[in-house]
């Protein structure tokens, strides 16, 4: 288990949620990829740190978003976060209340790949951990 990996992932997600893209970018490997569930708006796959930051900029510009971590599972080079988020469409006012999980594969101490799943169980099973 790697406390450093967990800290990197938590710090990066906190920065993303606050819209601090400079700080968030530091948590990703230069060749990182972000794979979205089909339930997320926007690109299905973001390749590279800039594309990931652009995805999050778009998400935060479209929604007034708040998210918090409910669960953390560390598996050496993989960190899974269970996240609960609430949001409201800035233009539409439509409310969103959703839980999802993100599995992070670490590379060189940074996030090399992030896969978003619709549930904690799907994420944990996909990366072969017991949660």
Q: What is the CATH number of the domain that holds 91?
A: 3.10.450.50
Residue 121 has pLDDT above 90, yes or no: yes
Q: Give a yes or no: residue 128 inside a domain.
A: no
% of the chain residues with pLDDT over 90: 63
- Assign 16 a pLDDT band (cuts: 50, 70, 90): very high
H-helix segments, the chain: 3-18, 21-25, 49-62, 120-127
Query: Domains in the chain: how many in total?
Result: 1
% of the chain residues with pLDDT over 70: 97
Q: Give a yes or no: residue 129 inside a domain.
A: no
Domain of 91 in residue numbering reads as 3-119
Q: Give a yes or no: residue 17 inside a domain.
A: yes
| Residue carrying structure tokens 């569930």 | 37
- Give the predicted TM-score (pTM) of the model: 0.90
Give the residue-averaged pLDDT of 57-74.
85
Q: Give a yes or no: residue 20 inside a domain.
A: yes
For residue 100, what are the β-bridge partners?
83
H-helix segments, 26-130: 49-62, 120-127
Q: Give a yes or no: residue 32 inside a domain.
A: yes
Q: Give a yes or no: residue 127 inside a domain.
A: no
Sorted by sequence, the CB contacts under 8 Å of residue 95 that are 6+ apart come out as 86, 87, 88, 89
CA distance 127 to 125: 6
Q: Give a yes or no: residue 39 inside a domain.
A: yes
Q: Give a yes or no: residue 23 inside a domain.
A: yes
């Amino acid at each position: 288990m790697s406390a450093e990996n967990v800290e990197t992932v938590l710090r990066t997600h906190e920065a993303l949620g606050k819209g601090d893209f400079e700080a968030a970018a530091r948590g990703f490997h230069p060749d990182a990829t972000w794979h979205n569930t089909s339930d997320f708006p926007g690109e299905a796959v973001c390749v590279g740190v800039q594309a990931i930051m652009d995805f999050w900029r778009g998400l935060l510009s479209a929604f007034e978003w708040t998210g918090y971590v409910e669960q953390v599972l560390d598996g050496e080079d993989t960190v899974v976060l269970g996240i609960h988020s609430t949001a409201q469409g800035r233009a539409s006012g439509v409310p969103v209340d959703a839980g999802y999980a993100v599995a992070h594969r670490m590379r060189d101490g940074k996030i090399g790949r992030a896969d978003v799943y619709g549930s904690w169980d799907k994420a944990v099973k996909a990366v072969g951990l017991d949660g």
